[in-house]
A and B are shown apart, each in its own frame.
Chain A
Amino acid sequence: MMTQTPAQEVKNTTCYMCACRCGIRVHLRDGEVRYIDGNPDHPINKGVICAKGSSGIMKQYSPARLTRPLRRKQGAERGAGDFEPISWEEAFSMLEERLAHLRETDPKKFALFTGRDQMQALTGLFAKQFGTPNYAAHGGFCSVNMAAGMIYTIGGSFWEFGGPDLERSKLFVMIGTAEDHHSNPLKIAISKFKREGGRFISINPVRTGYSAIADEWVPIRPGTDSALLLALIHEIIAKGLYDRDFLVRYSNGGQLVNVDEANDEFGMFLRDDVPAADGCYDPQDKLWWDRRTDRAVRTHNADADPYLLGEFRLEDGTPAKPAFQLLKERVEEYTPEWASRITGIPADTIRRLAHEMGVTARDQRIELPIAWTDSWGVEHESVTGNPVSFHAMRGLAAHSNGFHSIRALAILMSLLGTIDRPGGFRHKAPFPRPIPPCARTPKGPEGVQPGKPLDGMVLGWPAEPDDLFVDDQGGPVRIDKAFSWEYPLAVHGMMHNVITNAWRGDPYKIDTLLIFMANMAWNSTMNTVEVRKMLNDKDENGEYRIPFLVVADAFQSEMTAFADLVLPDTTYLERHDAMSMLDRPISEFDGPADSVRIPVVPPKGECKPFQEVLIELGSRLKLPAFTTPEGTRKYRDYPDFVVNYETEPGSGIGFLAGWRGKGGEKALRGEPNPNQWEMYAKNNCVYHHELPKSYQYMRNWNKGYLEWSQRNRITRYAEPILIHLYSEVLMKFRAAAQGKGTSRRPPAHLAERVATYFDPLPFHYDPLECQATDKHTYPLAAITQRPMAMYHSWDSQNAWLRQIHTHNVLFVNPITAKNAGIEDDDWIWVESQWGKVRCMAKYSEAVEPGTVWTWNAIGKAAGAWNLSPKSNEARKGFLLNHLISEELPGDQGRISNSDPVTGQASWYDVRVRIYKAEADEPKITSPQFDTVKPFPGQPKRSRILNFFAAKGGK
């Protein structure tokens, strides 16, 4: 029992054990972390905390910590982990010399790719200032389809961008694995929703996670979501269960499309002759066919009401159909019976789901007494909503048909009239944004010039073929080939192809690859075995094919083992961070919010926050944003940068939106405030700007909100953001591929691909890998999920969490297993056409029989994360990644195993077979890898842990 009172202290900061960014209170006893609990005054988590957040202590004191900058020993092989400690000065000098040379000669030879870093505002700025096009974060291999599919349709998406309004919803449908985005707020909301009598349906091949408490579980075959969603749309339209008033006013459903196939404008919207107002992003010059006057009129004409269905002929004879008519024709063949054969869901169930959605939306309308004005000046006395909501993330996204599945989902949500309305889907600032948002990359290689910043954004949103980042031949400018004709809307880049492309020198060779916080030699890469060889591969001159590899991370890992230079990062408890409006803030439905981390303990050893590394390098390289006009260093350190950086001189926009202005009296815009950090510290590390009620709904078309948003420079345009049921943006790419119009054309070998997949309406197709697989040989779909105690893969070295998931198994439906002669707990082989893995099978009744699945990223290479080589993670745990290829064979050579629209990594498309391992085979997982040695400066791992914070107090 306690005999003396040790020094107790509680400090507020923001969690980083997963990507939720909950507010936490860190309790210190004599300077050691004693307890971390949720901050009750924080808008994200309202006082609760998850299993990971509660285990932060074991991250802080983990023996996997890196503590010193390390250089690979001369002559040592990459991957062996033979390092010598060096000083930070040596590390910086080495980087400065190398990068200065690259910047002055060929800046694209430097590539910076980061994991789930929560600081893309800074990493992206650094890359742009350096002048390299080769930058992205992890989005391309995570859920970019979810962002792109919905943002190109409704101007917003799930998670940080928006989500289900469960407070007022009556029916909630979660499709596919989505639990980790975002986790605590969703748990809080689902629980309240259920207790208030809401109905929760889970559509998922596997019943785990939140699906466990669903009122109904609808098992579905992986990769067939678009078939289900299109059949739901079919039934909703066939029964007239769509919200007509909503579609007429707020979507492009009534807009007339040119259906004259001989015309160059085929598939484009017909436009009024009157020239559109200047400076518009999406001019309101399209046409409706008016029911009252039976002729074409400009949309949103106050006296008009358009037909949503039918075929019409303009005065000049041009045949035209409303976009909604084309949607109806598209889903004609997508009957519930058709979808049933593909998805495995009975047709009656599909019909019933559609009826539940449609009737709940129609008959349980919510009306809130909130007056608002729409973009066309019409005043509304109330805000209404239809209480049906959805959530989906990677389960839908990580397929090569995911973009169109997600477009179908966004269209279904729109047909039900649920966009930014109570009880449905609601946006979070800075969304909604114009479709697509305004940022653009450079348009060609001339945007990359020695000694200069990149002439455009590092990541952008192409609106037409001329926005692509390609050379004169239509070839890619980026190493990952994002924004090229192969993956035109690769809006988060394609990190999963960087190593393979750089190794092959396709489209060119690079010199330095800087990886931050991403395990590209293990669970974050496809084709792990081969990619590890590529990292270590040398050319005919004996030089590494990727000449210089720098890895910044807080922990020793499979990836750090391959580095030439290791930069030890801090943990989240040791650093400043800004969850910025310029990146992905923590906004709420009711208004923008951002937050910070403030160090609660000093950095361990020589650890340095990666932000400080970038500020230091930016200063040494004299990148303009980090240098004064006199050529001297502009920012002392990262906290100084956060306070004083402005997007343009005098713009008043910086990394943090709260407490701006000299005395902290301004919000969103205002001069730098020297005491901004202190003000965040006093206010739970979070700034939350609650909008007036009249600005909280219908924001795509809410005049007051859009003008507020424009005044505060959240958006450049205050025009209405109509829902794109029909995507003219996609049609422009298709038209170019069909040789129409005046824009750039794709190279001949990609024309058919672009024409096929840039369909202005969603359609179902078998995922590309399935098309390239003999399904008789490989009959099963293999997928992964993440367990709640291990959301995001960066913590399973944690002493407490690894006791919950020490190794993973392959879950198999008993019927499927018995057919293959497999008993519960047998060692088996799971094999795809790309590779095979030995693992243990576990019977589960909670998986559809055509699917096998496992927890992702539990398996480790021996010695990684300073776990014993005998640890269960290395002996029994396994990665499914070995079975997944980063490329697929094609008629025109290899192409990324990705969505052809967005470049989203198609993790969940792989097909496998399973069979029993021979009795005489070793009972350990295969493949095995050479043991990673502990690095110099790493803490020793204890044999017995008896953690008691500040033992002196005991």
Chain B
Amino acid sequence: MTQLALVIDLNVCVGCHACVTSCKEWNTSGEAGPLVDLRPYDADPTGTFFNRVQTFEVGEYPNTETVHFPKSCLHCEEPPCVPVCPTGASYKREEDGIVLVDYDKCIGCKYCSWACPYGVREVDAKRKVMTKCTLCVDRIYDDELPEWDRKPACVRACPTNARLFGDVHDPDSEVSTAIRENGGYQLMPEWGTKPANHYLPRHKTRITVREDELERSDNPLRIDSKLPKPDRDEPSLDDVTSW
């Protein structure tokens, strides 16, 4: 069975927010939109975003890591937001595992957002319905788009290609390979939600220079440094030995 998901590579994510605004841009005028913005030009503006980047620091100076962490609905295989929904508005699709909200059925009771341990549901203050990442379901199956374009907007936008998209149940997919080969992990697996989205950890590349590698026989100093040549008139053993 297909389970579509995002795999986010923290090793290359620079926290540029391209995924945040490209998502907003696509979805506000798409099937899930419009995505409201309250006080857009006033104090404390706040709006609906299906995807956000959290930035935090780990460790103490100077051993500090600055981590950029993009987060959207993880499309759990056991989504706790679904069973709590009193109207059946919150549902998981059989065919591809995408978790969606049917706005026509949603009564805005917010049970689902309380149930979600990841805080990725966004209530729309204007429409009074719960909204969330749809994996751009209105893009990925659109025959009008060329095949290369049938991807979530955030994936298309991401300048570092930190967002991979595909079927995590297909062992040969790009996403499954990336998870397998790079130690991909799920968020808070202890909750038993089986998030479909995965994250790839950071890793460090080092160069080791050993002492005996520093100098080589073709060291240019041997060419350029003229060894001091004493003048012929300077004293030498030739002056004091006779045999």
Interface residues of A (CB under 8 A from B): 1-2, 29, 34-38, 40, 45, 47-55, 57, 63, 171, 183-184, 187-188, 190-192, 194-195, 197-200, 207-213, 215-217, 219, 239-242, 244, 291, 307-310, 324, 352, 355-356, 359-360, 362-363, 788-789, 797, 799-804, 806, 813, 815, 844-849, 866-868, 870-872, 875, 941-950
Question: How close is A568's CB to chain B, nearest CB, in angstroms?
Answer: 19
Q: Which of A55, A356, A870 contacts B209 (CB 8 A)?
A: A356
Q: Which of B16, B43, B162, B204 contacts A789 (CB 8 A)?
A: B16
| CB-based contact B40/A29 at 8 Å | no
| CB-based contact A239/B37 at 8 Å | no
| CB-based contact A199/B206 at 8 Å | yes
Q: Which of A47, A52, A799 contacts B41 (CB 8 A)?
A: A799
| CB-based contact B41/A944 at 8 Å | no
Instruction: State whether the Cβ of B225 lies closer than 8 Å to any Cβ in chain A.
Output: yes
Q: A37-B156, A51-B18, A867-B41 are in contact. List 7 more A-B contacts (CB 8 A).
A: A38-B156, A54-B157, A242-B220, A363-B213, A849-B61, A943-B39, A945-B37
Q: Which of A35, A200, A804 contacts B17 (CB 8 A)?
A: A804
| CB-based contact B160/A187 at 8 Å | yes
Interface residues of B (CB under 8 A from A): 11-18, 20-22, 24-26, 28-29, 31, 33-47, 49, 57, 59-62, 64-68, 126, 148, 153, 156-162, 202, 204-207, 209, 213-216, 219-226
| CB-based contact B157/A49 at 8 Å | yes
| CB-based contact A801/B12 at 8 Å | no
Select from chain A the residue with minimum beta-carbon distance to B58: A845
Q: Which of B24, B153, B224 contacts A307 (CB 8 A)?
A: B224
| CB-based contact B153/A37 at 8 Å | yes
User: Taking each of B35, B64, B158, B219, which has the highest tally of chain A beta carbons within 10 Å of its own beta carbon?
Assistant: B64
Distance, CA A130 to CA B52, complexed state (A): 50
| CB-based contact B21/A55 at 8 Å | yes
Q: Which of A47, A195, A788, A946 contacts B12 (CB 8 A)?
A: A195
Distance, CA A35 to CA B157, complexed state (A): 12
Residues of A near B202 (CB, < 8 A) are 213
Residues of B near A47 (CB, < 8 A) are 156
Distance, CA A207 to CA B214, complexed state (A): 30
| CB-based contact A941/B43 at 8 Å | no
Q: Which of B36, B157, B160 contacts A190 (CB 8 A)?
A: B160
| CB-based contact A239/B33 at 8 Å | no
Select from chain A the residue with minimum beta-carbon distance to B226: A310
Q: Which of A36, A240, A244, A804 contacts B20 (CB 8 A)?
A: A804
| CB-based contact A1/B25 at 8 Å | no
Q: Which of A190, A800, A806 contacts B21 (CB 8 A)?
A: A800
User: Taking each of B38, B42, B59, which has the highest tally of chain A beta carbons within 10 Å of its own beta carbon?
Assistant: B42
Distance, CA A813 to CA B61, complexed state (A): 8
Q: Which of B36, B43, B162 contacts A868 (CB 8 A)?
A: B43
Interface residues of B: mostly helix, strand, loop or mixed?
Answer: loop
Assess A40 versus B148: contact at CB under 8 Å? Given A872-B44, A947-B28: yes
Select from chain A the residue with minimum beta-carbon distance to B12: A191
Residues of B near A54 (CB, < 8 A) are 18, 21-22, 24-25, 157
| CB-based contact B41/A868 at 8 Å | yes
| CB-based contact A800/B161 at 8 Å | no
| CB-based contact A212/B68 at 8 Å | yes
Residues of B near A188 (CB, < 8 A) are 159-161
Residues of A near B66 (CB, < 8 A) are 207-208, 211-212, 846
Assess A800 versus B24: contact at CB under 8 Å? Given A37-B153, A207-B64: yes
Residues of A near B44 (CB, < 8 A) are 806, 872
| CB-based contact B57/A845 at 8 Å | yes
Question: How close is A522's CB to chain B, nearest CB, in angstroms?
Answer: 18
| CB-based contact B14/A949 at 8 Å | no
Question: How close is B91's CB to chain A, nearest CB, in angstroms?
Answer: 16
| CB-based contact A946/B220 at 8 Å | no
| CB-based contact A870/B42 at 8 Å | yes
| CB-based contact A50/B37 at 8 Å | no
| CB-based contact B29/A803 at 8 Å | no
Question: How close is B120's CB to chain A, nearest CB, in angstroms?
Answer: 17
Residues of B near A199 (CB, < 8 A) are 205-207
Distance, CA A194 to CA B160, complexed state (A): 10
Question: How close is A64's CB to chain B, nearest CB, in angstroms?
Answer: 8
Assess A942 versus B40: contact at CB under 8 Å? Given A191-B162, A215-B204: yes
Residues of B near A207 (CB, < 8 A) are 64-66
| CB-based contact A803/B45 at 8 Å | yes
Assess A948 versus B224: contact at CB under 8 Å? Given A845-B61, A942-B41: no
| CB-based contact A187/B159 at 8 Å | yes
Distance, CA A371 to CA B216, complexed state (A): 28
| CB-based contact A187/B16 at 8 Å | yes
Residues of B near A803 (CB, < 8 A) are 37, 45-47, 49
Q: Which of B13, B25, B41 contacts A36 (CB 8 A)?
A: B25
Distance, CA A171 to CA B206, complexed state (A): 10
| CB-based contact A946/B34 at 8 Å | yes
Question: How close is A28's CB to chain B, nearest CB, in angstroms?
Answer: 11
Closest 8 pairs (CB-CB, A-B): A244-B220, A191-B160, A51-B17, A187-B159, A240-B221, A799-B40, A948-B34, A54-B22
| CB-based contact B45/A49 at 8 Å | no
Assess A845 versus B59: contact at CB under 8 Å? Given A242-B220, A871-B42: yes
| CB-based contact B43/A875 at 8 Å | yes
Distance, CA A63 to CA B57, complexed state (A): 36
Question: How close is A169's CB to chain B, nearest CB, in angstroms?
Answer: 12
| CB-based contact B14/A210 at 8 Å | yes
Distance, CA A53 to CA B24, complexed state (A): 12
10 A-B contact pairs sorted by A residue (CB < 8 Å): A1-B31, A48-B157, A53-B18, A215-B204, A244-B224, A310-B226, A360-B207, A788-B15, A872-B44, A947-B29
Distance, CA A188 to CA B25, complexed state (A): 22
| CB-based contact A49/B43 at 8 Å | no
| CB-based contact A943/B220 at 8 Å | no
| CB-based contact B15/A212 at 8 Å | yes
Residues of B near A309 (CB, < 8 A) are 221, 224-226
Assess A213 versus B61: contact at CB under 8 Å? Given A54-B21, A184-B159, A199-B207: no
Q: Which of B158, B162, B216 contacts A362 (CB 8 A)?
A: B216
| CB-based contact B158/A239 at 8 Å | no
Question: How close is B236's CB to chain A, nearest CB, in angstroms?
Answer: 23
| CB-based contact B220/A51 at 8 Å | no
Q: Which of A310, A324, A846 contacts B64 (CB 8 A)?
A: A846
Residues of B near A308 (CB, < 8 A) are 220, 224
Distance, CA A208 to CA B15, complexed state (A): 9
| CB-based contact A948/B33 at 8 Å | yes
Select from chain B the residue with minimum beta-carbon distance to A305: B223
Distance, CA A709 to CA B134, complexed state (A): 52
Distance, CA A359 to CA B20, complexed state (A): 41
| CB-based contact B209/A35 at 8 Å | no
Assess A944 versus B209: contact at CB under 8 Å? Given A240-B219, A240-B220, A309-B226: no
Question: How close is B187's CB to chain A, nearest CB, in angstroms?
Answer: 20
Residues of B near A797 (CB, < 8 A) are 41
Assess A35 versus B29: contact at CB under 8 Å? Given A55-B21, A352-B209, A799-B40: yes
Distance, CA A872 to CA B31, complexed state (A): 32
Assess A240 versus B29: contact at CB under 8 Å? Given A51-B20, A945-B47: no
Assess A219 versus B29: contact at CB under 8 Å? Given A309-B224, A356-B209, A799-B41: no
| CB-based contact A55/B25 at 8 Å | yes
User: Taking each of B25, B38, B221, which has the highest tally of chain A beta carbons within 10 Å of its own beta carbon?
Assistant: B25
Residues of B near A211 (CB, < 8 A) are 66
Q: Which of B68, B159, B209 contacts A50 (CB 8 A)?
A: B159
Residues of A near B209 (CB, < 8 A) are 352, 355-356, 359
Assess A51 versus B213: contact at CB under 8 Å? Given A801-B21, A943-B42: no
Assess A941 versus B40: contact at CB under 8 Å? Given A55-B25, A212-B66, A800-B21: yes
| CB-based contact A212/B224 at 8 Å | no
Distance, CA A184 to CA B16, complexed state (A): 10
